[in-house]
Amino acid sequence: MKFLSKLTVINIIMALTLYCPSAFAAEYTDTLRVGIYYGSATVKNLDLKSDDGFAFGIFKDREFIQISTTDCASVSVVPDITENVPSYHVDYASYSTAEEAKTAAEELKAIGIDAFTAYYKSQFHTMSGNYKNNNDALWAAENLAVKGTVATVSDTALRLVDGLGATLFVADDKTFGVTVYPKHYENADSLISISGSAKGTYRGGFECRELTDSAITVVNTVPVESYLYSVVCREMSPSWEVEALKAQAVCARNFALGRINYHKQYGFDVCRTVCCQAYSTSADQSQSVHTAVDETRGELLFYNNTLVQAVYSSSMGAYTESVENVWGTPFPYLVSVENPYEDTENVYNGKWTKSLTKARATEIMNSRGYNIGDVTSITVLQRTPAGGVLKLQVTGTNGSKIFERESCRTVFSEATYSQRYTVTLGGQAVYPTVYTYNGNKTSSVALSFVSVLGGNNTTTTLKGSCIAYDGNTKTSYTSTTTSGDSNTFVFSGEGWGHGVGMSQYGAKGMAMAGFDYEEILTHYYTGTHIEKAY
Ligand SMILES: [Zn+2]
């Protein structure tokens, strides 16, 4: 059960970002930038460890431009400040290539100057020293073995230091910052471990930028396929059938490549949370996940030439939902289909019953700004052909509010895990329904009582239960009372999540029944096909 609680549901944010790119598989990048520390969760410095040593430089146009390497097993990225003020350095020369700067720094070291490379004013430089004021730096610039000028860095410059505190590299550039890879980064199994709340071991490199003063944004620059190892193991249990894992891998690849630059205000594509896709350290990975990713390498799902928005959620009940009934805009491949292989009864949050008091419903409505007074009823006004709630009316002592589509799930999210539910108020009588046909149309009547006309012209009123006899069988109908008290709404439903696209538990069931990942994907995403991007 522990794992199941980690199953994540791609949520409403995705709804707002449905897109219609027209593109071919070949246009997609194989490198992703994943946000690790950003926004309100930046770090003051970052410690990195690698048994392999490190290569460092800048990350530009999704390419790592290496300036130099170190055999140190631990390095740190820190703000380039000395005694709390931006540093001053001696600047020797600028170069248009990283290679030239590296060679020049080595030549300076050979004659006794403790030089390092820098990226400063959009060029590669050789520099030395960390001075807290212009005068100290100026003195050094004029008196060291090689004369230089003073470089005054901005307050968002970063410094890469080795385990002994010696400067390896300075980057004074908000766009590029400092990027660190394992020394042999061409080897996909070279790993880096980092400090902080997301501490652990990762593939790829780390790009650090100080977008604001003393707050380092950290981005994992990682091959898409390596990224997927860390996503698939979080989105599905690695113990599931490999064909289900492969379907998940293709969905996750589609999703990630559909979100290039999604978090561009922080300079990355996808974040590590369920806002995008849950992403973890390499520790959670297993062989089955690697197999699923490797065997679908570069494969993407297309509808004609459009990259499929491969949304998925945990479970969905008997049918998946058409996307327009959830997020409003129709997509030809996100239409309702049967979901017969999902073992809804037995999966985590597959079938559920939750209650909500009138007082709590009132509180929720008020907190959302709907001032309809005390909530008295919650009624499903309209359902989708697949059985989901399309319109939900909440009535109070002071008015009513109608919710549509996804908000029918999210408005009372503490009581509803999906859009497929019924809602009843406790303690209410439910009468048998009879259907009458007048030759034109069928009407239903709730049978709260039955009046029987007796032979002596007296009428008897029967309540509670009655028996219908069609000449062959007798069927008895009984009035019932909804469970619970009359101040509590009871929501009963099936499925966990938005209900659009692939059901993860449905994919598991299909894989167990012998379907392969392509059959799973084309079942849930109507009219689609797989293409290899790289
Ligand atoms: Zn995100």
Is residue 23's pLDDT more than 50? no
Is residue 477's pLDDT more than 90? no
Confidence of residue 12 (pLDDT cuts 50, 70, 90): very low
For the ranges 95-99, 265-269, 441-445, the lowest mean pLDDT is seen at 441-445
**Dist. CA 445 → ligand 1 center (Å):** 50
pLDDT at 463: 66
Is residue 158's pLDDT more than 50? yes
pLDDT > 70 fraction of the chain, expressed in percent and rounded: 91
CA dist 49 and 321 (Å) reads: 46
**Dist. CA 259 → ligand 1 center (Å):** 9
**Dist. CA 204 → ligand 1 center (Å):** 19
**Dist. CA 354 → ligand 1 center (Å):** 29
pLDDT > 90 fraction of the chain, expressed in percent and rounded: 74
Is residue 1's pLDDT more than 60? no
Is residue 444's pLDDT more than 70? no
**Dist. CA 211 → ligand 1 center (Å):** 18
Q: Which of 177, 228, 232 is nearest to 203 (CA)?
A: 228
Is residue 324's pLDDT more than 70? yes
DSSP lists the bridge partners of residue 300 as 531
Q: How much is the average pLDDT of 209-230?
A: 91
Q: How much is the average pLDDT of 477-490?
A: 81
Mean pLDDT for all residues in the chain: 89
Between 400 and 469, whose confidence is greater? 400
**Dist. CA 227 → ligand 1 center (Å):** 14
Confidence of residue 431 (pLDDT cuts 50, 70, 90): confident
**Dist. CA 273 → ligand 1 center (Å):** 6
Cβ contacts of 458 within 8 Å, gap of 6 or more: none
Is residue 51's pLDDT more than 80? yes
**Dist. CA 362 → ligand 1 center (Å):** 32
**Dist. CA 324 → ligand 1 center (Å):** 23
**Dist. CA 37 → ligand 1 center (Å):** 12
Cβ contacts of 142 within 8 Å, gap of 6 or more: none
pLDDT at 532: 92
**Dist. CA 18 → ligand 1 center (Å):** 14
Q: Which of 510, 503, 509 is nearest to 420 (CA)?
A: 503
Confidence of residue 6 (pLDDT cuts 50, 70, 90): very low
According to the per-residue pLDDT averaged within each range, which of 209-213, 297-301, 474-478 is highest? Answer: 297-301
Is residue 21's pLDDT more than 70? no
**Dist. CA 289 → ligand 1 center (Å):** 22
pLDDT at 243: 98
Q: How much is the average pLDDT of 158-163?
A: 96
Q: How much is the average pLDDT of 1-30?
A: 46
**Dist. CA 427 → ligand 1 center (Å):** 44
* 3-class secondary-structure state, position 496: strand
**Dist. CA 14 → ligand 1 center (Å):** 9
**Dist. CA 278 → ligand 1 center (Å):** 9
pLDDT at 24: 55
pLDDT at 25: 55
Between 17 and 201, whose confidence is greater? 201
**Dist. CA 432 → ligand 1 center (Å):** 49
pLDDT at 453: 73
pLDDT at 26: 57
pLDDT tens profile 254-304: 999 999 999 999 999 999 998 999 998 877 678 999 999 999 999 999 999
Report residue 70 as tokens.
């170190």
pLDDT at 438: 75
**Dist. CA 270 → ligand 1 center (Å):** 5
pLDDT at 8: 40
Is residue 169's pLDDT more than 90? yes
- Vertex 423 angle, CA 384 and 407, to 5°: 55
**Dist. CA 271 → ligand 1 center (Å):** 4
**Dist. CA 274 → ligand 1 center (Å):** 7
Q: How far is CA 355 from CA 348, 359, 489, 495, in A?
A: 18, 12, 6, 17
Q: Which residues of 199-217 are buried (b: 16+ CB within 10 A; e: fewer)?
A: ebebbbbbbbbbbeeebbb
Q: How much is the average pLDDT of 206-213?
A: 89
- Evaluate if pTM is beyond 0.85: no
What 8-state DSSP symbol labels residue 502?
E
pLDDT at 450: 67
Q: How much is the average pLDDT of 103-117?
A: 95
**Dist. CA 60 → ligand 1 center (Å):** 22
In SS3 terms, 369-433 reads as: CCCCCCEEEEEEEEECCCCCEEEEEEEECCEEEEEECCHHHHCCCCCCCCCCEEEEECCCEECCE
**Dist. CA 338 → ligand 1 center (Å):** 30
Burial class (CB in 10 A: 0-12, 13-18, 19+), 269: buried
CA dist 507 and 519 (Å) reads: 10
Is residue 18's pLDDT more than 60? no
Q: How much is the average pLDDT of 242-251?
A: 98
Confidence of residue 188 (pLDDT cuts 50, 70, 90): confident
Cβ contacts of 79 within 8 Å, gap of 6 or more: 44, 45, 155, 156, 157, 158, 159, 210, 214, 216
